[in-house]
Structure 1
Amino acid sequence: MLTVGDKFPSFDLKAVIGLDPKTAFTRVTEGSDEGKWKIVFFWPMDFTFVCPTEIAAFGKLNGEFNDRDAVVYGVSTDSEFVHLAWRQNHDDLKSIPFPMLADIKKDLTVACGVLQKEAGVALRATFIVDPQGIIRFASVNDLDVGRNPQEVLRVLDALQTDELCPCNWQKGDDVLKAA
């Protein structure tokens, strides 16, 4: 698995950004949203149970991420057509404000080292990538356990201070000063 300090891989994927099949599809690459922080999170499969809770939670925080000059990309190995059908049929996903990337060839999933080999799906992985394309945070949860998007936001806040941040640090708290 890629980790902190590694360069995030190049990618060029189809993505779903809406509900209308005429305008729902776009392409997203590593060069999209250049100069911004990127929150890239992977989920195992569409039409499952834990995944929509996480996607909806990231969606609710999307404005907070945008306020921090960050964009959110959600990724699974399902096709863009499956993403669209899921969004159209799941109330919690109809209005998510970030693209759902379709890694059907599993190139990005494999390049990041987050393919769960037995099931052939992405692990529940999260990366925070800085504007230079360097991974600054990497986390993976078991397939059955959802992650905490609020914690991802907290870590982004800490990374953006470029300071020493103690355990449980929150935006606005004092940072540590080296003696």
Structure 2
Amino acid sequence: MSRYIDSELKPFKATAYQNGDFVEVTDADLKGQWSVVFFYPADFTFVCPTELGDLADNYDEFKRLGVEIYSVSTDTHFTHKAWHDSSETIGKIQYPMIADPTGTITRNFNVMIEEEGIADRGTFVINPEGQIKIVEITDGGIGRDASELLRKIKAAQYIAAHPGEVCPAKWKEGEETLAPSLDLVGKI
């Protein structure tokens, strides 16, 4: 596996379903803001709607932080629309649901399960410069938590704005950070 952190976003162009329309999304849309690219295996499944619904329930907080969410599966944009129209949970989604039926984006992020033609549960946080700053990949049966993702994004945004500081384990917004130095060696 190649190194993810600080790697550049690869070019892509795709169709997404968002707020009743089919829209084009490219890698350029992700630059200039913080973005979450949230891969999931498939529409009309079991764990996926709980995760996507959790993101939808917390979408206002993501937007408050200047973060756009892009969910991605290897389904088509038509399938995304049908799922959005037929599921109360998915019907809450306002963020773009990217269709990747060719698997190009999924392969770009190295989360394609080739023998099944679906994505792993991969979460990627990308900074405004188009660099990956956070990566989480979980087993298909393990759902992710939007509140934990928000905590990590706040930490990433904090260290981006405060060079020379780092966020310790369990750091939450407003808590003390650390400034690595020789004075701290062996004292934590």
TM norm. shorter chain > 0.5: yes
Farther-moved stretch of structure 1 (127-136 vs 144-153):
144-153
1:130 aligns with 2:130: no
| Aligned residue type for 1:3 | Y
Which of the pair is proportionally richer in helix?
Answer: 2
| Aligned residue type for 1:170 | K
1:80 aligns with 2:77: yes
Shift of 1:33: 5.0
Alpha-carbon separation, structure 2, partners of 1:106 and 1:72: 19
Q: Alignment partner for residue 100 of structure 2, among 99, 103, 127? A: 103
Query: How do 1:23-102 residues align onto structure 2 when only pairs under 5 Å count?
Result: 24-32=21-29, 34-102=31-99
Q: Alignment partner for residue 114 of structure 2, among 105, 113, 117? A: 117
| Aligned residue type for 1:167 | A
TM-score norm. by structure 1 comes to 0.94
Shift of 1:35: 0.9
Alpha-carbon separation, structure 1, partners of 2:11 and 2:64: 25
Q: Residues 70 and 97 of structure 2 are in contact (CA less than 8 Å); yes or no, is this contact kept in structure 1? A: yes
TM-score norm. by structure 2 comes to 0.89
Shift of 1:7: 0.7
Partner of 1:144: 141
List alignment gaps of at least 5 residues for structure 2. Answer: 160-164, 184-188
Q: CA RMSD in A?
A: 1.2
Shift of 1:110: 0.7
1:174 aligns with 2:176: yes
1:5 aligns with 2:6: yes
Shift of 1:34: 3.7
- Structure number with greater Rg is 2
| Aligned residue type for 2:169 | C
List alignment gaps of at least 5 residues for structure 1. Answer: none
Percent identical: 35
